[in-house]
């Protein structure tokens, strides 16, 4: 990647973080964009798996992903889709220690990976962001495990 490509990728990342967390200050968004690791996934590749240890928080930079959960029979059931600007991984960090869902790339996917310490630092420095992330996590947790088809 050229320097111009890297700058363009960081700008896109900054834009996605800003859309996911509109109440963060520009300086906080810039810091996250500079320190987050970008990761790319191919179609069908697993980003995180239900039941595994939670160690990060993610923002979709480009592409789309599907969130699924196992039903009582162990079948994967799609819960929702993710698109650029959406975030995931907060439940495993706020209610440790395990992931409650699996995320797989539906298209070529690029995410920004934010480590546990940076995630909690972000929440501590922005009460509105902390409230928004907690509310989204609570809403997601309130959904019951998908039923087994009859």
41 falls within a domain: yes
pLDDT at 116 over 70: yes
9 falls within a domain: yes
Domain that holds residue 66: 3-142
12 falls within a domain: yes
Quote the number of domains for the chain: 1
pLDDT in tens, 8-56: 877 888 888 888 888 888 898 888 888 899 999 999 999 999 999 999 9
pLDDT of residue 48: 96
Q: How confident is the model at residue 101 (pLDDT cuts 50, 70, 90)?
A: very high
CATH code of 59's domain: 2.60.120.10
Nearest by Cα to 67 from 86, 93, 54, 42: 86
80 falls within a domain: yes
pLDDT of residue 65: 98
pLDDT of residue 29: 87
86 falls within a domain: yes
pLDDT of residue 89: 94
pLDDT of residue 147: 59
14 falls within a domain: yes
Contact predicate 16/109, CB 8 Å: no
Question: 57: buried, middle or exposed (CB in 10 Å: 19+, 13-18, 0-12)?
Answer: buried
More confident position, 148 or 14: 14
């Amino acid at each position: 990647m050229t320097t111009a490509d890297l700058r363009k990728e960081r700008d896109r990342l900054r834009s996605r973080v800003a859309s996911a967390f509109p109440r963060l200050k520009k300086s906080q968004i810039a810091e996250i964009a500079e320190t987050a690791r970008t990761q790319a996934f191919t179609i069908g590749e697993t980003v995180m798996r239900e039941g595994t240890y939670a160690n990060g928080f993610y923002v979709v930079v480009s592409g789309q992903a599907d969130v699924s959960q196992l039903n009582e029979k162990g079948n994967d059931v799609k819960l929702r889709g993710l698109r650029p600007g959406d975030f995931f991984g907060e439940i495993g960090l706020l209610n440790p220690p395990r992931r409650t869902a699996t995320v797989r790339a539906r298209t070529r996917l690029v995410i920004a990976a934010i480590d546990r310490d940076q995630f909690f630092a972000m929440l501590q420095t922005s009460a509105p962001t902390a409230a928004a992330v907690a509310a989204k996590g609570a809403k997601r947790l309130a959904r019951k495990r998908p039923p087994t088809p009859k």
